[in-house]
Structure 1
Amino acid sequence: MSRPSALVRILAAAVAAASLATPALADVGFRVLNIPDPSGAQIEVGVWYPTDAAAKPTPFGLASQTVAAGAPFKGERLPLVVMSHGNGGFFGSHYDTAIALAEAGFVAAALTHTGDNYRDQSRATDMPNRPRQLSLLVDHMLGAWPEKDRLDPARVGAFGFSSGGFTVLAAAGAVADPTRLGRHCGAHPEYFDCALIRASGPPKAWAQTTPDRRLKVIVSAAPAIGYAFTEASLKTLTMPIQLWQAEHDRVLPKPLYVEPVRAGLPTPPEFHFVKGADHFDFLPACAPEAVARAAAICTPTPGFDRSAFHVELNREVVRFFREKLR
């Protein structure tokens, strides 16, 4: 048999390199946990993870997800991404991103924020409570969780949207100045956050959040109350940050939310400006029959393909975490 030509050897090497750069996608397991909170009720958590078990479509929230419920775990030393939803959401608000992460070899753990979810809005403006709860989730996943030995504690990232986008930045060390809320709402009483404060009241206490140094990489989509972060605290965020903004965000309109964060970071973040998108396009597309039940978040934005955008969103989020959580 003749020796392979140089071209064949080059092609073989290229294929091998591509297989290393883009691992084969795994099936996805899914479990629901309840973790203790010393300051209140247990916190509901959804966990998506790699498995060898066959996944199947399962009704979930306003759509369906293809997972293997309760399946055994696959893999060791896996990176962890904790996830924080927006106002009125729940742990499954970004299930498609969680699935994409699990397919790529991550464990994605998303919590339902106590008092700020679709069932309970009693603490909807208690923003300092959110980063505290996110750190409790990291505590549990790296500590009491029975599968903790499958995780790499040195590779922990965080993803958040809207109020969750605020949450992950605050957990990483950004500090909000509560006096800026009053000034902002005096000038913009019609904005969503100001209407929420009028309905629910301002936070009763604004405790200083201790930065969670375990968070090595941050993805923040349409972060809420970006104007409230102090410039000095934003300068402390030296970890890699991916920042997303919707062009036509009617909930958190330009230039008071994303822009102060982007301008205040010590190193320019990886910035994604989504042309044609509105605020809720960062949520996965709803099943057609669910649109009437949740019109505010499910109604399609005219001229914008939310499903196609989520292919891009999830690809870029996974790539960023994969590159930066080496």
Structure 2
Amino acid sequence: MKLTTPVALLALLVALFSAGAQAVGFQHVTAPDPDGAPLEVGIWYPSSALPAPVPMGRITQTVAVNGAIEGKALPLVVISHGTGGSFLGHYDTAIALAEAGYVVATVTHTGDNYADQSRSVFIMERPRHISRLIDYMLSDWAGRSQIDPARIGMFGFSAGGFTTLVSIGGVPDLTKVGPFCREHTTDFACQLVAKHPEASAAPSVSHDGSQDLRIKAAVVAAPALGFTFAPDGLKNVNIPIALWRAENDAVLPHPWYAEAVRLALPQAPEYHVVENAGHFDFLAPCSTALASVAPFICTSAPGFDRTAFHTSLNASVVVFFDRTLRH
């Protein structure tokens, strides 16, 4: 479907989305990873504590830091960011989900983040981070008793979309990357590989055990390396999927990424093509401070309103997880 968000539809979504909204608590913690460095984690959750503007780097979010968690048997959504990102990349989506009654945990992927991209080509390490994040939320986090372990979802963007697909049972064939890159030398993934000759040491197929059966539904936005799952690398994926593609994605262009995933999924996903959007429009709308230092990820096409899009995106994500995790 084409997502054009007419004014009337947008107003309806906002009204539905806001009806049960509540304040949001927030914690910034670290979670153990026995096979690597501790993981930086952001956690958003329902709270009745009074929120306040909290600057974090070049963004400001209105949350109640360390506010008491409200609710019982709350569903959990974990989020995986794209290459060079951080746990804050989708903070607006995290807040929207927390307002709707979800606990949301996001991770900064070790060696593939804004401060350190030394392991960005070792993409098969990322699913482990997600499993360790879920372990932490269910076993060590102070609010663990208020999470329903049977209702866990995942949201992933770009490399995080790839991470999501592997975490839910996808088996990529990374031997396809070399031949693909010989034909598409300007592709973002191919340029990344070219900068990292150590990529040849990366595993060519998924490790056994990458799938995390605790994840029951997933939102996948602009997935990286989608072509590595064709034709049957997603045959074991049997949970509900919402798949999003930016119509004018110049970073992961059509039809080798989201479209390849759509065709390889054994069951048709809920599919959204966002008209006039670019790759980075899935990131939270940029502050003036962030736009001044990172215009590449903050600039949208003329006529595209990223803030309005995120209002409808976040509402749609909430509706999807309400349908798939709260039944």
Q: Please state how far the C-alpha of 1:46 moved relative to its aligned partner.
A: 0.1
Does residue 1:219 correspond to 2:219, yes or no?
yes
Matched, 1:208 2:204: no
Gaps of 5+ in 1: 1-18
Distance 2:230 2:275 in 1: 28
The answer (yes or no) to whether the contact 1:128–1:209 under 8 Å persists in 2 is: no
Question: Which whole-Å CA distance do the structure 2 matches of 1:100 and 1:61 have between them?
Answer: 20
Cα shift at 1:62? 3.3
Q: Secondary structure at the match of 1:234?
A: coil
- Equivalent residue of 1:145, what SS? coil
Q: CA deviation at 1:300?
A: 2.9
Which amino acid in structure 2 is aligned with residue 298 of structure 1?
C
CA distance in 1, matches of 2:57, 2:161: 21
Which string of whole-angstrom CA distances, capped at 9 and with x for unpartnered residues, describes residues 167-193 of structure 1? Answer: 011100101111101111011011000
Q: Where do 5+ consecutive residues of structure 2 fail to align?
A: 1-14
Number of the residue aligned with 1:161: 157
Q: Would the aligned equivalents of 2:156 and 2:164 in 1 still touch at CA under 8 Å?
A: yes
Does 2:45 correspond to 1:49?
yes
Which deviations, in whole Å up to 9, do the C-alpha atoms of 1:294-316 show, x marking residues without a partner?
11111232221000000010000
Q: What letter matches 2:324 in structure 1?
A: K
Q: Is 1:245 aligned to residue 241 of structure 2?
A: no
Secondary structure in 2 matching 1:193:
helix
Q: Distance in 2 between matches of 1:93 and 1:290?
A: 11
* Displacement after TM superposition at 1:23 (Å): 5.5
Q: How does 1:12-91 map to 2 (within 5 A)?
A: 24-91=20-87
Identical aligned residues as a percent: 50
Equivalent residue of 2:296, what SS?
A: helix
Q: How far did 1:236 drift?
A: 1.2
What TM-score do you get using the length of structure 1 for normalisation? Answer: 0.91
Counterpart of 2:37 in 1: which secondary structure?
strand
Q: Is the 8 A contact 1:222 1:246 kept in 2?
A: yes
Listed one character per residue, the Cα deviations across residues 81-136 of structure 1 (whole Å, up to 9, x for unaligned) are 00000000000100000000000000000000000000000001111001111111
Q: How does 1:117-266 map to 2 (within 5 A)?
A: 117-201=113-197, 202=199, 204-206=201-203, 207-210=206-209, 211-266=211-266
Aligned length: 308
SS of 2:164's partner is helix
Mapped partners of 2:146, 2:32: distance in 1: 21
Give the 3-state SS of the residue equivalent to 2:167 in structure 1: helix
SS at match of 1:216: strand
Correspondence 1:228-307 to 2 at 5 A: 228-307=228-307
CA RMSD, aligned part only?
A: 1.6
Q: How many Å apart are 1:231 and its aligned residue?
A: 3.0
- Does the 8 Å CA contact 2:230/2:261 hold for their aligned counterparts? no
Distance 1:163 1:20 in 2: 31
Q: Deviations along 1:177-223, whole A, 9 cap, x unmatched?
A: 11101111011011000000011232623251421110000100000
Give runs of ≥4 in structure 1 deviating > 6 Å.
Answer: 19-22
Q: 2-side partners of 1:155 and 1:52: how far apart? A: 22
Q: Which has the higher contact order (CA 8 A, sep 6+)?
A: 2
Query: In structure 1, what is the equivalent of residue 3 of structure 2?
Result: none
**C-alpha distance after superposition, 1:232-280 (max 9, x if no partner):** 3312111000000001001001110001110111110000100000000
Separation in 2, partners of 1:281, 1:27? 26
Structure 1 stretch displaced more, 59-68 or 92-101: 59-68
